Structure 1
Amino acid sequence: MEIIVVNEQKNKTFNFIINWSVISLIILFIIAIIVLFIYGIINFARGKVDYKRLNQLTKENTVIQRGIEYLESEIKSLNILIDSLAQRDTAFNHFSKLIPIKDFINEMIIEKAKGRIETDNKLSENLDKLLTRVEQQYSNTKAMVDYLNKKERLKDVIPSIPPVNGWFMRGFGYAPDPFTGTVKMHEGVDIAAPLGSPIIAPADGVVKKIQYTTDFGTVIEISHSEGFETVYAHCQNPAVRQGQSIKRGDVIAYVGTSGKTTGPHLHYEIRIDGIPVNPLDYIIPRGIVANE
C-alpha cells in the first residue's frame, strides 16, 4: 500500500509505503491489550468478591466452631452429672443409654479440620441439626436430672427412718385404750425404748410446735415438705425450739414418761395434709424390732 502526501506551499510530495502485514499486527496488538485489560478488570472484581465471601464464610465457621466447643463442654458437664447420679441410684442406670451427641459433634469437627468451607445453606443445615440434637439431649437429660433431684430431695423430707431405737409395742388403728379399755383410734405407733434414749428427726423440717398435754405429756410437732408432718409424744428434755430448722438425724428430744403412760416409750405419728397415716408404711425397719 502506497500513500502520497502533497505539500502545496512547498510544492513537495512525500510517498509512504505501508505493509498490510504490519497494520494487521498493530491492530491485533491493540485488540490483545484491550482484551487483557478487560480480563484483568473482571478477574480483579471477581477476586475481590471471592475474598469477601471467603472471609465471611471463615468468620461464620469460626463462630460455629466456638459454638460446637461450648456445646461439647455443656454436654460433658451433663454427662458427668448423669454418671454421678447413676452411681447413687442404680435403678436409673437405663438413662445412661441416651443417644450420644459426641459422635455428631466429632464428625463436624473432623470436616472442619480438613479445611472444608461450606456454603451458607450447608452451614445452616448442620447448625440446625446440631441444635436439634442438643435440645433433645438437654430435654431428656434435664427431665431425668429434675426427677432424680426431686427423688433425692424426697429422701430428705419423707420420714422414712425410725425416730428411736427400740421395739414396737402398739400399732396404728383401732385398739382398746390401756387405761379405759374403750376401743378407739390410735393415730400412731408406740415404740418402747430405754428412758433417755435420743429421739431423732426422720426427715428435714421445721419445728412447728412444742406443747404439754395431760394425755401425751411433752409433744413436739415437726412440719416437713410435701405435706408431711410428724408428732412425738411422751418426750422429755426437748433439744429444739419452736421455729427451728432441723435436718434428718438431728436429736430433737429424749424418751420419757410424761403424760399418761405405762412406761418409757415414744408415741410417734405421721400425718399427710393433716390426716394420720400408718407410720409403718414409711419407716424403713432398722433399729426397731417387733414386740413378740
Structure 2
Amino acid sequence: MSQTLRLVFPQWQGGNNELYHLGAQLLAWLAPEHDGPTEEVPVPKPDGVALACEEGLIARHQLLAQAANARALIDKHNPQSIVVLGGDCLVDLAPFAYLNERYQDDLAVLWVDAHPDIMTPQQFEHAHAMVLGNLLGKGDSAFSGQVKAPINADKVCYVGVNEPTDWEQQRMLQLGLKNIGPEQLREQGSQAVVEWFKATGAKHLAIHLDLDVLDPGQFQSLLFSKPQAGDEFDGIAQGQLTIADVVNVLTAVAKEGEVVGLGITEHLPWSAMALKNMLEKLPLLKKL
C-alpha cells in the first residue's frame, strides 16, 4: 500500500467563496485512483450565511480549527508523503508544516502561484492569501503558531508570480524569496527551476499548486473566470501559464528529487455549479 496520504480538504472559508467546497470534491473525483489512505477534513457545508470577520480575518476560528483537524488526521497516519486536494490555499498550512518537520533542512518548497501568499491581516481579511507567510513563521501569530518548524525562505521558490503589489514586492525582497516569473519560464523553460532545486541541496520537494497560476483564457475553473464579474478583479494579478507549462516544470523538477508533497488548490468550477443548480430545479430531480 502507498505511504502517501491523500487529504481531501474542501475548505472554503479561507477565500470566503462557497464554490471552493465543490471544487475540492470534484478534484477528489477527478484524481487518479489511490491505493493508500484517504482522509477528508471535516468542513461545514456552505449554507449561505455570511462569515464573521474576527480579529481582522474572515472565519478565523473556523479556519484554525480546520487546520488543527487536518494536522490530527496527518499525525494519525504519519505519512511519508501527502497529496492535498483543496479548497482554498490555506489547506496547505498543516500538510506543509508537517512535511517540514519530518524532512527539516532536506525539504525544498516550490510555490506555483500567481500570487505570493505572504499577506497579513493588516493587508487583507482572507486567510488564503497568507499561507506561505504563516509557513515561514512570519504571518498571523495564531496560524504561524501551528507551524512548529518554520520553512526557511532560502528553500522556497515561486513559479508564476507576476505583478505583485508594491507591498508584496517589498516583502518578497525582505524575506529573500526567489521568483521565476512567467517571462523567465518562457525564456528558460524548466531549467531555471531545476537549477534552483539543485542549489538548495535538498532531496525532497513539496509543491503548492494554486490553479490560478493558469491563464484564465485557457482554463476557466478559476476565480478570474467568475461569470458577470465585471471589474471585480481589476488590478489583481492573473495567471499566465498554460497547463503544459505547469506539467513540464513539475515533471522536470520531480526527476531531480523525491516529491513528498503536492497541494492542489483554488479550483472554482463555475460551470459545474451552474449545472448543479439547474439540475436541482428540473422535474423529478428538484428538491422538495
TM-score by length of 2: 0.22
The structure carrying a bigger strand percent of its residues is 1
Higher relative contact order (CA 8 A, sep 6+): 2
TM-score by length of 1: 0.21
Q: Highest Rg: 1 or 2? A: 1
